[in-house]
Each structure stands twice: as C-alpha cells, then as structure tokens.
Structure 1
Amino acid sequence: MPNAVVLGTGMAGFGAAHRLRDEGITPVMYDKNAYYGGHTMSFRYDPGFVFDIGPHISFTKDERIQDLFADSVDQLYETIQINLNNYWRGYWPQHPVQLHLNGLPEDVVVKVIADFVDERQKPERPITNYDDWLVASFGSTFAELFPKQYTRKYHLTSAENMSTDWLGPRIYRPSLEEVLRGAISASSPNIHYITHFRYPKQGGFVSYLQKFVPLGDIRLKHELVSIDPRSRVLSFSNGLQAGYDMLISSVPLPDLVRMIDGTPRDVLEAAGRLACSSCVLVNIGIDRADISKAHMSYFYDEDICFTRLGFPHMLSDSNAPSGMGSIQAEVYFSDKYRPFSGQPSDWIEPVINDLRRCGLLRDRDRILCSNAMYLRYANIIFDLDRAAALATVHGYLDDLGIAYCGRYGDWGYMWTDESFKSGEAAAATAMENLAARSGPRRVQSA
C-alpha cells in the first residue's frame, strides 16, 4: 500500500482519512497538538462547562454528511431551531437586521428605507468590491450602520478592500416588501440560511469525530518543521523523519510554504499577502442559564470589544452544570490589519465589562469559570490581495504534488461539512498524483 500522510487531525484531515479508507489505505496522521481535532476540539473546565473552539454547529443539508455525523455520535444529537439576534446601540433586533428594523429609532428606519428605495431606482452599476455590493443591496445608510461596521470588527479591514467571492448565501438581499414588513411588524418572518442545526448531546462538537478517529494512525505532539519535496521526507521538531508517497495537508498555507525546502521567493511573498483573522476566545460560566434567548448574537458597535457571542449551554444540556449558563466571546485581530499583542487573559476583564454594559451579565451574577485562548488562525479575510496570492501558492503546491484541504489549506470560508468534503477531495487528488507518477516510491519512516 502507498504511504499516505495527512497533516492535521481536524475536520478536513478526517475527511481525507475517510476517503483514503474507502481505498483500503490507513494514513498516518500527524498533529502538533497533544489532542486530535484541531479547531473542532472541545474542552471541559471545572465545574463542568464545555466550550468548543469557536461557535460550531452542523447545519449541512448534505444527507450523506448528516448520516456520517449522526452515526459518529450513535444518533445522539440535538436538533435545534436556531435563534439569532444583534446588538446595536442598545437595541436587540432579530437577525438579519435588514428584515427586522421594527423597534429601531424612527429616523434610522425612515432613512434606511428611503435609501433602499433610492438605490433601487438608480441604473445598475458594476460591482468591484464588497462595498459596492452592500450599497447596491441595501442603500448607503443601512450599509454604513450595520454590515460595514461589522466588517471592520470581523474582517479587520474595510468593505472597499474586500471581494465578494465569499458571500454565497451568507447575507440575505431582501425585497422592498420584506424590508417594509420588517419595519412595521415585530413578527416578520425569520429568513436565514440556517433554520435548524444539529449538535452532539454529549462531549461537545468534537464528538462528531469519534467514529473517524480509528481511520488513521494518529501521531500527536509531532510538530512539522520541514518538508523535502524531492525526497518526499518530513522532519519534525522531535527529531523524527518520515517519508511519504502521498501528502495531504490542512496546515495553514503561510506556515506550510515556509517549511518546504527551496520555496521560491515569489511564493513566499504571495503567502505573506494571504490575510486571515486571529481570535481571542473568552469563555465565561455563570450561575444562571437565562442569559439570552439567542444561540448567537452579533455586535456592531465598535466600542464593544467582542464581535460575536455564543451561548454553549443552549446547544446541549451537557455543556454546563444544571441551571448554569455559559458565554463565549470572540475578539478579533489580524497580523495584517490589527496585530495581537499581550496575553489572551488580558481580554477577560474587558469582555466581562462589556457583557455588563449590554445587560447580559448582572452585578449579582457569580462567575464560576473564566478563561481565554488565542487562535492564531480564525477566519479567512477575502481582501483584494487574496485571489492572485492564492493562485500562486496553490500553483506551487500543485507542482509539488502536495494536496491541500480545509479552511486554511484551501484558504476559503468553509463550514464544517465543506471542510470534511474538502479533505475527501484532497485525498482523491493525492491518489491521482500518485497514479500519475511512474510508480509509487516507498520511503520508510526513520
């Protein structure tokens, strides 16, 4: 059998392992962490709070993936109707805001609708960036008060500096009738690309991987330091060297190309232009569960430190002790646009203070758990540099026969099911690369 290696044990890595096992191949899977799962991992903290690494839910409509995940948790999952809301200047409109203007200040609602109508009457203009798309879709007032502000907090750059390649179904473009209905009625329809989602009953989101773990020969605490693509040998910080016939990587592209021996300067420069956000996750557990009716809340005000909140105890009863609640706050940074400095724990107090300002935490609440972690890689930023830089980096990896997958390998905006299928596709590519060579070269692990 060919010697197949998968770098990373997240959702994409196990997607690759799943596809390889269909061919009777058990890959060796390396991970620098002491645990498998990557960003799919879940952690338990005393006195019994479970937090995922960021907000993870499964809302795929792909029945094959639904069945795979359900089987992995022995059909023990919650099916939940999603509830999303927003915070803007002390108001809590439902999500998406463009369909729920009712209750916002009257002058704001009137100006939003007037601009929306005015924009519809203008001749169609070319869309060159995300800013153009927002104004054409919603009018200038709504665009500036809501999505442009959120863009600066979540993507760390301006809408003018972003493409529209990432949008898909993520932002709903309403009709005038829908905007008007949401302005005059507090009970307008809840239209969103997510209506229901699934979440494991026990163990957090990482439980969705439990039946996939035996698909690979997993080697934890193996930090990759270099790749020799000519001899097809990997070197790790612990001194191990290992060969491969097929290499599938979910390692973030900027890190990956720096570890490849002989990477040309133009490829290194292109990788340096790839932008992503980093994130400090602040996890809070308190002594009551009635914190919010929403599963997730979006924050537009730029003087609120966090961009988004999740409430893990609302996903499964097992995520918090009985009668207690949990909050996960996301504070974003970017090496390219807003570098992070200091320690993750520096953000615990600011998050708690802003939770009190928003009314989600009360002075009498008892905080039972608080911690913070820094994620160097969070969300891909689709700035105007991305497309050309990514083509250069992917072209180089294609020439070397290194298959890539996942959010940070494909460098895309991927949901859970898309990451898993990305790993499957990368495994198929790796097998095609192997078949195209004159014959598999057997390299034994040193």
Structure 2
Amino acid sequence: MPNVVVLGTGMAGFGAAHRLGQEGITPVMYDKNAYYGGHTMSFRHEPGFVFDIGPHISFTKDERIQELLADNVDQRYETIQISLNNYWRGYWPQHPVQLHLHGLPEDVVVKVIADFVEERQKPDGPINNYNDWLLASFGPTFAELFPKQYTRKYHLTTAENMSTDWLGPRIYRPTLEEVLRGAISASSPNIHYITHFRYPTQGGFVSYLHRFVPLGNIKLNHELVSVDPGINELAFSNGVRTRYDELISSVPLPDLIRMIKGVPADVLEASRRLACSSCVLVNIGVDREDISSAHMTYFYDEDICFTRLGFPHMLCDANAPKGMGSIQAEVYFSDKYRPFSGKPEDWIQPVIDDLRRCGLLRDSDRVVFRTAMYLPYANIIFDLDRAAALKTVHGYLDDIGISYCGRYGDWGYLWTDESFKSGEAAAEAVLSKPAAFQAKRRVHSG
C-alpha cells in the first residue's frame, strides 16, 4: 500500500485514518505518548475517578459524526441537557451573563443597560479587534467586568490584542429586549450554542476512539525529533527512522516547524509568533456529589486562580465512585504572555483554597483524591500576530507537501467534530495528490 504516515492519534489523526481506510489504506500512526488518543485521552484513578484531559463533551449537530461516535460506543451514551453558570464577585449568574443580569448589584445592572442602549444608538464603527467588537456589542461596563476580564485569564492577553476570527457562535450578542428580560426576571430563557450533549456511559470520552484503533498501524512511544522533506524521512527519539510517501501531521505547528531540516528562517520566526495557552489541570475527588448544579462554571475574578471548572461526575455515573464527586480546574499560562514555571502539583493547594473561598468546597468535605498535570498546548490564542504568521507557516508546509490537521495543525479553535473532519480533509488532500500517487494506489489495489 502507499506508505502514508499520520503523526498523532487524537481525533484529527483518527479522522485522517478513517478517510484513508475508506480507500483501503492503513496508515502508520506515530504518537509520542505511551497511549493513543492525544488530548482525547481519559485516565482512571483509584478509587474509581475518571478524568478526561480537559472538558470533553460531544455536542456536534453533524448527524454523520453523531452516528459514527454513537456506533463506536455501541449506542451506550448519556444525553444531557447542559447547565452552565458563572462566578463573579460572589454571585453565581447563569450563562451567558449578558442574558442573566438578574440578582447582580443594582448599580451594575443599571450601568450595563444604559451602556447597552447608548451603544445601540451610535453609528457602526470599524471593528479592528476583539475589544472593538465587545464595546460595540455590550458597551464598556459589561465588556470590562466580564469578557475582558475573562480574556485576560483564558487567553492570557488583552482584548485589544485579539482578532475576532475565533468568535463564531461562542459569544451571544443579545437584543435589548433579551437583556432587559434577563435583568428583571430570574427565569429568562437559556440561550447558548450548546443545549445538550452526549457523553459515553463508560470509560470516559476516549471511548469514542476505541473502534478507530484498527484503522491505523499504531506506534506508541515514538517522539518525533526531525523531518527531512528532501528524502521523506522521519526520525524519532528512540532511534527509529522511517520513510513516507505522504505525511499528515497533527503535531503543534511550532514543534513541527523547528524539527524540519532546512526550514527557512522566516518560516521558523513565523512559527514562534504563533501563540497558544498551556494549562495545569488539577483534578479533585470529594466525598460528596452535590457540589454544583452546573456541568461547567466560568470564573471571572482575577484573584481566583482557575478560569473554568468542570464536574466530571455529572457527565456519567461511572466517572466517580458512588456518592462522591469530582472537580477539574483549569489554570492557564502561555509561553508568550504568562510563562509557566514550577511543577503542576504546586497548583493543587491553591485550587483547593479557592474552591473553599468561593464556597464549592465546605470545611466538612474530605478531599479523597488529588492530582495535577501540565499540558504544554491547550487553546489557540487568536492574537493579532496569528493570521500573518499562520499564512507563512501553512504556505511553507503546502510547498513541501506536508498535510496538517487538528487544533494544533490547523492552529484554530476546533471542537471535537471539527478536529475529526479536519483529519478527514487532510487525508482527502493526500488522496487528491497528482497522478504519481494515484498510480501507486491503483497498482497496490489492483
């Protein structure tokens, strides 16, 4: 068969393997880890807690992907109506806050509404960055108290330094009627781009990948150290060298580019301008399950160390021992804007302290499990350097014939289904290569 190599075994890598498999091609798939799945992996810890690598749920509206993932778990999944809330200065408004101002301090609500009305009366001005969009959408009071604060915690930079390329449906821009209704009523409509989601009944989110494993010849514990596009050769830290006819990579672009032999200086420099966040995930097990009414909570206060909390035990019963609850806290950093130092474990006690400070953990609660891990790649930061730098990097990879996919290959804000389809698209690009590759495929399949 044509020798197609896929770097990475996450959603994008298996998306590529799935599309190649439809053409009878089994790629060789390399992963630096001792497990497959990438960021889609789930870990089971005694005495029975399951934690994914970050919050993972499937809310795709693509029926093909829905059925594919459902079949992978033999139709054994939970369908859950999502509940989201926020924490701000001791208040717990529903999400999104702009639709649920009821119960916040009166002077804040009045100023937010006054700003909102004033902005609606202004002529449309240029939108040069995310800050411009926030001011035009909400006015200065709401923008500063909520999304601009959250931006500094989640994206590690300022709204003035971010584009709007990532927005899509992620931040709801309400009408004046919706804002007013949410200010005077505690039962205003719950409007969000996610209404319900699916999650495997057993085994954590990685269960969605198990049936994809036979699609590739998987080589674990293979950390890539160099790519030679002149002779189509890969080298790994364990001494293995291998050739490829076609290469599909989900390796983060800054890592991939620095490993390519002969990479031009301007491309290397562009890859260094690509920003992303890193994350310390702190996982906590508690001897009580009624910790929160929400599946996820967003934290705006900059003196709270974590930016977001998830509650894995609320996704399915198998994620925690009976009668116990679990919390996953996300603490963000960025090599470009807020470098991480120290050890992941250093953040366990600060997280526990802040959980107690905001009232989620009681003095009587017993923490029965605690662990932390560091993710060098978390979320893409859409700063003002991204677009030009990405154009340079992707253009170079196109020129040397390396296909790319996934959140860190496309360098975009990709959800689960989008990552899978990104892998499929990369495989499709390989399958559409010129006649020489097609002829090789015909010979091997003939």
Shift of 1:439: 6.2
In the TM superposition, 1:21-32 aligns within 5 A as: 21-32=21-32
Separation in 2, partners of 1:155, 1:211: 34
Q: How does 1:28-39 map to 2 (within 5 A)?
A: 28-39=28-39
Partner Cα separation in structure 2 for residue 434 and residue 360 of structure 1? 58
Counterpart mapping for 1:253-268 below 5 A: 253-268=253-268
Q: Distance in 1 between the 2:258 and 2:433 partners? A: 22
TM superposition shift of 1:440: 5.2
2:122 and 2:298 mapped to 1: Cα distance? 31
CA contact (8 A) 2:305 2:351 kept: yes
Partner of 1:137: 137
| 1:196 to 1:189, Cα distance in 2 relative to 1, 3 A | same
Indicate the residue corresponding to 1:50 in structure 2: 50
Matched, 1:312 2:312: yes
After superposition, what is the alpha-carbon deviation per residue over 1:415-438, rounded to whole angstroms, capped at 9, x for unaligned? 000000000000011222354669
2:188 aligns to what SS in structure 1?
Answer: coil
Q: Is the 8 A contact 1:298 1:308 kept in 2?
A: yes
SS at match of 1:226: strand
Q: Give the distance between the partners of 2:387 and 2:359, measured in 1 at CA.
A: 41
- The C-alpha deviation readout for 1:152-181, integer Å capped at 9, x for no partner, is 000000000000000000000000000000
**Alpha-carbon contact 1:246-1:431 (below 8 Å) kept:** no
SS of 1:17's equivalent? Answer: helix
Equivalent residue, structure 1, for 2:182: 182
2:392 pairs with 1:392: yes
Q: How does 1:18-167 map to 2 (within 5 A)?
A: 18-167=18-167
Assess if the C-alpha contact under 8 Å between 1:226 and 1:261 holds in 2: yes
Alpha-carbon displacement from aligned partner over 1:209-244 (angstroms, at most 9, x marks no partner) = 011111000000001111110110111111111111
1: CA distance, partners of 2:383 / 2:352 = 31
Report percent identity of matched pairs. Answer: 83
What do the CA deviations read for 1:238-287 (whole angstroms, capped 9, x no partner)? 11111111100000000001111100000000000000000000000000
Aligned residue for 1:6, secondary structure, equals strand
Superposition TM-score, scaled by structure 2 size: 0.98
Query: Contact 1:245/1:440 (CA < 8 Å) preserved in 2?
Result: no
In structure 2, relative to structure 1, the CA distance for the partners of 1:375 and 1:225 (3 Å cut) is: same
Contact 1:96 1:192 in 2 (8 A): yes
Partner SS, residue 285 of structure 1: strand
Structure 2 residue matching 1:292: 3-state secondary structure: coil
Residue correspondences, number: 441
Aligned-partner Cα distance in 1 for 2:213–2:69: 13
In 1, the alpha carbon distance for the partners of 2:255 and 2:278 equals: 14
Deviation at 1:123, TM superposition (A): 1.0
Indicate conservation of the 8 Å contact 2:431/2:438, yes or no: no
* Aligned match of 2:426: 426
Aligned equivalent of 1:444 = none
Give the aligned residue type for 1:123: P
Instruction: Name the residue aligned to 2:444.
Output: none
Residue 234 of structure 2 aligns with an amino acid whose one-letter code is: L
After TM superposition, the structure 1 = structure 2 runs for residues 278-289 of structure 1, keeping only pairs within 5 Å, are 278-289=278-289
- One-letter amino acid of the structure 2 residue matched with residue 122 of structure 1: K
CA root-mean-square deviation: 1.0
Is 1:366 matched with 2:328? no
